[in-house]
Amino acid sequence: MAIELLIKNGVVYDPINGVNGEKKDICIRDGKVVAEVKNPTVLDAKGRVVMPGGVDVHAHIAGGKVNSGRLFRPEDGRRGSEPKTTACRACSGYSVPNTFATGYRYAKMGYTFVMEPAMPPLAARHTHEELIDTPILDNATIPLIDNNWMTMDYVKSGDIDLLAAYIAWIIKATKGYGVKVVNPGGTEAWAWAKNCDLNDAVPHFDVTPAEIVKALAEANEKFEMPHSIHVHGNMLGHPGNYEMTLDTYDLVKGVKATKDRPVMHATHTQFFAYGGTTWGDFESKAKAIADYVNNNEHVSIDLGSVILGDTTTMTADGPMEYSLHQITGRKWTNHDVELETGSGITPFLYSGKVSVHTLQWAIGMELALLIKDPWKVALTTDHPNAGPFVGYPILISMLMSKKRRDESAADMHSAIYKKAELPSIDRELDLYEIAIITRAGTAKILGLDAHGKGHLGLGADADVAIYDITPEERDAGKIQKAFLNTKYTIKGGQVVVMDGEVVAAPAGRTFFVTPECDPKLTEEMMPNLKDKFEHYYSVTFANYPVQDAYVPNPYEIKAPMRG
Amino acid sequence: MQTIRLKLREEVAVRNARIPVDASSLTPDKLFGKRESEIKAVKVWWGNREENTGELFDVSVEGEAGSAEEVKTVMEGDLSRVKHIGEGMKAGEIEANSDVDMHCGAMMAGGRITVKGNADCWAGREMRGGELIIEGDAGDNLCAMYRGEMTGMTGGRVVVGGNAGECVGQYMAGGEIVIKRNVDILAGLNMKGGKITIEGDAVMPGADMTGGEVVVKGKVLDMMPSFKFVETTTVEGEEYKKYQGDLAMTEKKAKGVLYVR
């Protein structure tokens, strides 16, 4: 017996299909959007805003460092405790919520897909175990491939084909989705208590971060990968880093994409758009970044916008976390992943009374408002680094209301009027643009639009968010409230949230990519890889790859090798 | 004045492996304005089950109250597995007539709690104001912050008639604690403000302190080597050596004061 749903009388925003606020019914059968239904359960959306399920391009929700964050911040745990209900297990945490809270809270905001963007390959099993434990959300995770010894060896020898064979192997071995870059070379240098500028040589490897980024972009484009390389560059969070950011974008300008998408996704760009030379003369350079993105087609970005308040910062960028810990004096933990990457974690409080934090707060929104084409921009807070994902509704209401931005700015440090662009920007995003930066555009950036995400066309996954506002709503407070708790969230054709409460918590699916490398190249690469396992890894080659049991609900995307 | 008597039923105290009762919903300010029947219907966690107060306690009410300040809650029976007594209370009075379990008076902001026996760990945790009198001993972490937090007690007054455990007043930022007998290690750990008076002995008091005052009237065992002698001075008519520290937190931050005999 087919399970059918009919969403009646909603006002639909479906940018991939060009639907901009049209009154339209949506028919659902067996988890997919269909043309008609015969005997459906009817959900009356009564003039409310209807969008495809949200797609988050970048949020740290699972894996080793997320869990370390939970363990070393019990004080954060108590800020989000909620008892179990008939549908839900017990929740804890605010900036580092447990896996259950992560699934429920995203679903309440109308999100149905989240990308965990930083999986240390060696910790792939841990990451997948947490994703299995995260209810409702479909997910994927991108392995860190930039500080790996294998990668740097091939960058040095200039052998892009063998590098492609290696990334194909490691993406398959980790059930990953693409290529993640975090402080290329710098994380390896951190093992020697050093860091790297874009053109510094990585200690003992004799390659530069610039060479690593370019080579990985080229290797990624050897396959028809759904997503470009996903880049957290060098010198995140340092005053004056915007020039290095633009140089990083320029590195891949000549690289040709195998699909209709950019060749680099630059993540949490707010942290990379800083002017000045010290924290004293620190200023926003969002305009310079926005100008570049406006004039070029090879880069997409996400915001990494700040949510004021206490949060937990965590990244594979070990040296950055150490500098942050030195500024705040708060607790800090550091981790090395052999041959591959590392990480650091420290808590952080973003305060509207502090000039630097106020400017950071402004920069994220400036990027969203100064970049003209919303398809190039994704809404994120780099959860939890610039703030927890439950802050998205605040951000949406700010981007939609100049009045709200002005009111907030008036209560913050006066530096915002001298060193930021935000107060002079009049642009207000509409619901169509919000739908792009939170689902349609993010699905396209990740290449998921071809796999049923981010839209409501025929055959799409029946992931739908129904928000309890009309398209005419202008009250920023009501907009925020509506985007925090949906009227209904539907995931795979099942109602999972009703009136802001989770009513069902089915398991999500894991999307992973299988790059189909020429077996001859794999064969040629293999002795080098086995040599690394034999001489350096503490695990054996045979025990390394993640077995199928770690993706109990798989969705495989094949990426053929080009020509 | 109104007196609300809550007597824990004996079968609750002894049954089911002595599963704890969470009494945080039974503060005078929360019970103010409720009739006896309504008090009996107030929800109380008993282990992982929510029960009506009337199922766990014998309830009786005498007199009338015009405000929460005029409400006195008298808790009777064996309360040694009753946790969170007076947690978060803002006004009124609680008298607990036996030993009490953990978190008594945690986060309280006003009013008064008197414990006629011993209090287990975390009594007065993150207290903001009011008065907490423990006639017996207090467990560990008296008036401390909760795990991971950076601020403990900020206001109010706590008196312990007997001994207290480890880490009294950890991360304390304000208010006053008086311990009539001895304390275990690290009283005033990470203290930033307020005052702790220990009438008996103390072990390693004041470690990592950056502000506030600790007075030890008895012996100090294992004095922290990172405290600097300032002067000999008189406190309440007795001669004390005044030290400043903890220099382990850097000289700039070492604004804590420790008086020892």
> Each residue of A527-537: pLDDT tens digit?
999 999 999 99
Q: Does B147 touch chain A (CB under 8 A)?
A: yes
Task: Name residues of chain B where pLDDT drops below 70.
Answer: 16
pLDDT at B236: 86
What are the structure tokens assigned to A109, written together? Answer: 């905001």
Q: Mean per-residue pLDDT for A162-168?
A: 98
From the options 2.30.40.10, 2.60.40.10, 3.40.50.300, 3.90.1150.10, give the CATH code of A4-52+454-502. 2.30.40.10
- Cβ partners under 8 Å of residue B124, min gap 6: B104, B105, B106, B108, B132, B142, B143, B153, B156, B158, B177
Confidence class for position A519, pLDDT limits 50, 70, 90: very high
pLDDT at A34: 97
Burial B227-252 (b: 16+ CB within 10 A, else e): beeeeeeeeeeeebbbbbbbbebeee
Q: φ, ψ for residue A312 (rounded to 5)?
A: -120, 120
Pairing of β B157-160 and β B131-134: parallel
The answer to whether B124 and B146 have CB atoms below 8 angstroms apart is no
Q: How distant, in Å, are the alpha carbons of A32, A110, A205, A222, A503 from that of A444?
A: 19, 18, 36, 19, 29
Beta pairing partners, A300: A265
Q: φ, ψ for residue B187 (rounded to 5)?
A: -65, 140
Residue in A68, A70, A75 to test binding to B, most B beta-carbons within 10 Å:
A75
pLDDT per residue over A282-307, tens digit each? 999 999 999 999 999 999 999 999 99
pLDDT at A387: 98
Would you call A456 exposed, middle or buried from its count of C-beta atoms within 10 A (0-12, 13-18, 19+)? buried
- Measured between its terminal Cα atoms, the distance across chain A in Å is 45
The answer to whether A334 and A251 have CB atoms below 8 angstroms apart is no
What are the structure tokens assigned to A19, written together? Answer: 């639907």
pLDDT at B70: 97
- Cβ partners under 8 Å of residue B233, min gap 6: B239, B240, B241, B242, B259
pLDDT per residue over A209-239, tens digit each? 999 999 999 999 999 999 999 999 999 999 9
Q: Does A75 touch chain B (CB under 8 A)?
A: yes
Q: Mean per-residue pLDDT for A472-493?
A: 97
Give the nearest chain B residue to A73 (CA atoms). Answer: B148
Q: Does B148 touch chain A (CB under 8 A)?
A: yes
pLDDT per residue over B248-259, tens digit each? 999 999 999 999
Cβ neighbours of B147 in A, within 8 Å? 74-75
pLDDT at B17: 72
pLDDT at A412: 97
Residue in B149, B192, B250 to test binding to A, most A beta-carbons within 10 Å:
B149
The answer to whether A348 and A310 have CB atoms below 8 angstroms apart is yes
Cβ neighbours of B146 in A, within 8 Å? 74-75, 78
Cβ neighbours of A72 in B, within 8 Å? 148
Q: Name the average pLDDT for chain B.
A: 96
Q: Mean per-residue pLDDT for A345-362?
A: 97
Q: Does A71 touch chain B (CB under 8 A)?
A: no
- Using alpha carbons only, how large is chain B's radius of gyration in Å? 20
Give the nearest chain A residue to B145 (CA atoms). Answer: A75
Spatial separation of the C-alpha atoms in residues A28 and A41, rounded to whole Å = 10
Spatial separation of the C-alpha atoms in residues A260 and A449, rounded to whole Å = 12
The answer to whether A268 and A218 have CB atoms below 8 angstroms apart is no
- Residue range(s) of every CATH 2.30.40.10 domain in chain A: 4-52+454-502
pLDDT of residue A161 exceeding 90, the answer is yes
pLDDT at B14: 80
Alpha helix (H) ranges present in chain B?
10-14, 28-31, 36-40, 53-56
- Assembly ipTM: 0.86
Q: Which amino acid is at A546?
A: V
Peptide bond preceding A209 in cis form (omega within 30 of 0): no
Q: Does B149 touch chain A (CB under 8 A)?
A: yes
The answer to whether A148 and A215 have CB atoms below 8 angstroms apart is no
CATH class (in words) of the domain with range A54-446: alpha beta
> Looking at CA atoms only, how far is residue B145 from chain A in angstroms?
10
Spatial separation of the C-alpha atoms in residues A347 and B139, rounded to whole Å = 30
How many other C-beta atoms are found inside a 10 Å radius of the C-beta of residue B42?
17
Cβ neighbours of A333 in B, within 8 Å? none
> Looking at CA atoms only, how far is residue A320 from chain B in angstroms?
22
Beta pairing partners, B61: B4
Q: Mean per-residue pLDDT for A143-170?
A: 97
Confidence class for position A243, pLDDT limits 50, 70, 90: very high
Of A370, A378, A368, A365, the closest CA to residue A437 belongs to A378
Calculate the CA dihedral of residues A350, A353, A356, A358 and round it to 10 degrees: 80
CB contact under 8 A, B147 and A76: no
pLDDT of residue A1 exceeding 60, the answer is no
Q: Which helix (H) or strand (E) element contains residue A64? A: helix A64-72
Cβ neighbours of A78 in B, within 8 Å? 146
> Looking at CA atoms only, how far is residue B98 from chain A in angstroms?
29
Q: Which residue has the tokens 């990519």?
A: A513
Confidence class for position A468, pLDDT limits 50, 70, 90: very high
Minimum-distance CB partner of B146 among A72, A78, A330: A78
Q: Name the average pLDDT for chain A.
A: 97
Q: Mean per-residue pLDDT for A346-355?
A: 97
Q: Which residue has the tokens 């903890």?
A: B246
pLDDT per residue over A5-58, tens digit each? 999 999 999 999 999 999 999 999 999 999 999 999 999 999 999 999 999 999
pLDDT per residue over B178-200, tens digit each? 999 999 999 999 999 999 999 99
Q: Does B43 touch chain A (CB under 8 A)?
A: no
pLDDT at A563: 63
pLDDT per residue over A388-408, tens digit each? 999 999 999 999 999 999 999
pLDDT per residue over A173-217, tens digit each? 999 999 999 999 999 999 999 999 999 999 999 999 999 999 999
Cβ neighbours of A74 in B, within 8 Å? 146-148
pLDDT at B48: 87
Give the nearest chain B residue to A72 (CA atoms). Answer: B148
Cβ neighbours of A330 in B, within 8 Å? 150
Q: φ, ψ for residue A537 (rounded to 5)?
A: -65, 150
Spatial separation of the C-alpha atoms in residues B17 and B214, rounded to whole Å = 40
- Residue range(s) of every CATH 3.20.20 domain in chain A: 54-446
What are the structure tokens assigned to B82, written together? Answer: 């009753």
